[in-house]
Protein backbone atom coordinates (compact mmCIF):
# COMPACT_ATOMS: atom_id res chain seq x y z
CA UNK A 1 0.00 0.00 0.00
CA UNK A 2 2.82 2.42 0.82
CA UNK A 3 4.51 1.89 -2.54
CA UNK A 4 1.27 2.76 -4.34
CA UNK A 5 1.05 6.00 -2.35
CA UNK A 6 4.68 6.75 -3.08
CA UNK A 7 4.07 6.14 -6.79
CA UNK A 8 1.16 8.58 -6.77
CA UNK A 9 3.29 11.18 -4.99
CA UNK A 10 6.07 10.70 -7.56
CA UNK A 11 3.58 11.20 -10.39
CA UNK A 12 2.12 14.32 -8.77
CA UNK A 13 5.56 15.85 -8.18
CA UNK A 14 6.52 15.11 -11.80
CA UNK A 15 3.32 16.70 -13.11
CA UNK A 16 3.66 19.80 -10.93
CA UNK A 17 7.35 20.27 -11.75
CA UNK A 18 6.66 19.97 -15.47
CA UNK A 19 4.14 22.75 -15.14
CA UNK A 20 6.29 24.90 -12.85
CA UNK A 21 9.41 24.74 -15.04
CA UNK A 22 7.68 26.98 -17.55
CA UNK A 23 7.44 29.73 -14.91
CA UNK A 24 11.11 29.65 -13.83
CA UNK A 25 12.71 32.93 -14.87
CA UNK A 26 16.34 31.80 -14.68
CA UNK A 27 17.87 32.22 -18.17
CA UNK A 28 19.87 29.00 -17.76
CA UNK A 29 16.58 27.11 -17.47
CA UNK A 30 14.84 29.06 -20.23
CA UNK A 31 17.70 28.49 -22.71
CA UNK A 32 16.48 25.03 -23.76
CA UNK A 33 13.47 22.77 -23.40
CA UNK A 34 13.60 20.65 -20.25
CA UNK A 35 11.46 17.57 -19.66
CA UNK A 36 10.92 15.91 -16.29
CA UNK A 37 11.17 12.23 -17.18
CA UNK A 38 10.94 10.54 -13.78
CA UNK A 39 10.81 11.26 -10.04
CA UNK A 40 12.01 8.92 -7.28
CA UNK A 41 11.02 9.92 -3.76
CA UNK A 42 12.51 8.30 -0.68
CA UNK A 43 10.06 6.47 1.57
CA UNK A 44 10.35 9.11 4.31
CA UNK A 45 9.60 11.91 1.77
CA UNK A 46 12.79 13.78 2.62
CA UNK A 47 14.35 13.71 -0.83
CA UNK A 48 13.02 13.49 -4.35
CA UNK A 49 15.46 12.66 -7.13
CA UNK A 50 14.18 14.42 -10.25
CA UNK A 51 15.43 13.10 -13.58
CA UNK A 52 15.39 15.69 -16.34
CA UNK A 53 16.15 15.50 -20.04
CA UNK A 54 17.44 18.44 -22.09
CA UNK A 55 16.66 19.01 -25.74
CA UNK A 56 20.04 20.72 -26.25
CA UNK A 57 22.73 18.52 -24.67
CA UNK A 58 25.22 21.41 -24.57
CA UNK A 59 23.04 23.21 -22.00
CA UNK A 60 22.90 20.36 -19.47
CA UNK A 61 25.45 21.64 -16.94
CA UNK A 62 24.13 25.21 -16.97
CA UNK A 63 20.56 23.94 -16.87
CA UNK A 64 21.23 21.81 -13.78
CA UNK A 65 22.83 24.82 -12.09
CA UNK A 66 19.77 26.89 -12.91
CA UNK A 67 17.44 24.20 -11.58
CA UNK A 68 19.45 23.97 -8.34
CA UNK A 69 19.25 27.74 -8.03
CA UNK A 70 15.47 27.70 -8.47
CA UNK A 71 15.10 24.62 -6.25
CA UNK A 72 13.93 26.52 -3.17
CA UNK A 73 11.13 28.27 -5.06
CA UNK A 74 10.11 25.04 -6.79
CA UNK A 75 10.04 23.18 -3.46
CA UNK A 76 7.88 25.86 -1.86
CA UNK A 77 5.44 25.81 -4.78
CA UNK A 78 5.20 22.01 -4.69
CA UNK A 79 4.59 22.15 -0.94
CA UNK A 80 1.72 24.57 -1.36
CA UNK A 81 0.16 22.67 -4.28
CA UNK A 82 0.45 19.11 -2.96
CA UNK A 83 -0.11 19.79 0.74
CA UNK A 84 2.26 17.11 2.02
CA UNK A 85 3.40 16.97 5.63
CA UNK A 86 7.04 17.03 4.48
CA UNK A 87 7.93 18.57 1.15
CA UNK A 88 10.90 16.65 -0.25
CA UNK A 89 14.18 18.34 -1.07
CA UNK A 90 14.71 18.24 -4.83
CA UNK A 91 17.87 16.56 -6.12
CA UNK A 92 18.40 17.11 -9.86
CA UNK A 93 19.85 14.41 -12.13
CA UNK A 94 20.34 14.32 -15.90
CA UNK A 95 18.41 11.41 -17.41
CA UNK A 96 20.68 9.50 -19.76
CA UNK A 97 18.16 6.78 -20.62
CA UNK A 98 17.09 8.39 -23.91
CA UNK A 99 20.70 8.78 -25.06
CA UNK A 100 21.48 5.24 -23.92
CA UNK A 101 18.47 3.82 -25.80
CA UNK A 102 19.47 5.67 -28.97
CA UNK A 103 23.00 4.24 -28.66
CA UNK A 104 21.63 0.70 -28.31
CA UNK A 105 19.39 1.22 -31.34
CA UNK A 106 22.43 2.37 -33.37
CA UNK A 107 24.34 -0.75 -32.32
CA UNK A 108 21.43 -3.01 -33.25
CA UNK A 109 21.08 -1.28 -36.61
CA UNK A 110 24.72 -2.00 -37.45
CA UNK A 111 24.49 -5.74 -36.72
CA UNK A 112 24.46 -8.00 -39.75
CA UNK A 113 21.71 -10.49 -38.93
CA UNK A 114 20.31 -12.50 -41.82
CA UNK A 115 16.53 -12.39 -42.03
CA UNK A 116 14.57 -15.63 -41.90
CA UNK A 117 12.47 -16.34 -44.92
CA UNK A 118 8.76 -17.03 -44.37
CA UNK A 119 9.13 -20.63 -45.58
CA UNK A 120 11.71 -21.43 -42.92
CA UNK A 121 9.77 -19.66 -40.18
CA UNK A 122 6.44 -21.44 -40.90
CA UNK A 123 7.93 -24.94 -41.42
CA UNK A 124 8.85 -26.33 -37.95
CA UNK A 125 10.85 -29.40 -39.09
Q: List, for residues 83-102, the tens digit of each pLDDT value.
A: 888 899 999 999 888 778 88
Nearest to 98 by CA among 43, 33, 48, 29: 33
Helices 71-82 + 60-69 axis angle, to 10: 60
CA angle 75, 77, 80 (to 5 degrees): 110
pLDDT at 119 over 60: no
Main-chain dihedrals φ then ψ at residue 92, nearest 5 degrees: -95, 135
Q: CB of 78 within 8 A of CB of 50? A: no
Residues 52-85: tens digit of each pLDDT: 998 888 888 999 999 999 999 999 999 999 988 8
pTM of the model: 0.77
Partners of 94 in beta bridges: 52
pLDDT at 120 over 80: no
State the average pLDDT for the chain.
86
pLDDT at 116 over 60: yes
Rounded distance between C-alpha atoms, residue 45 and residue 90, angstroms? 10
Amino acid sequence: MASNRLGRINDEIQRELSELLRAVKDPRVQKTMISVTHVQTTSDLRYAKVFVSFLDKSCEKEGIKGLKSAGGWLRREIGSRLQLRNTPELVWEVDESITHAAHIMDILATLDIPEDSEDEASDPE
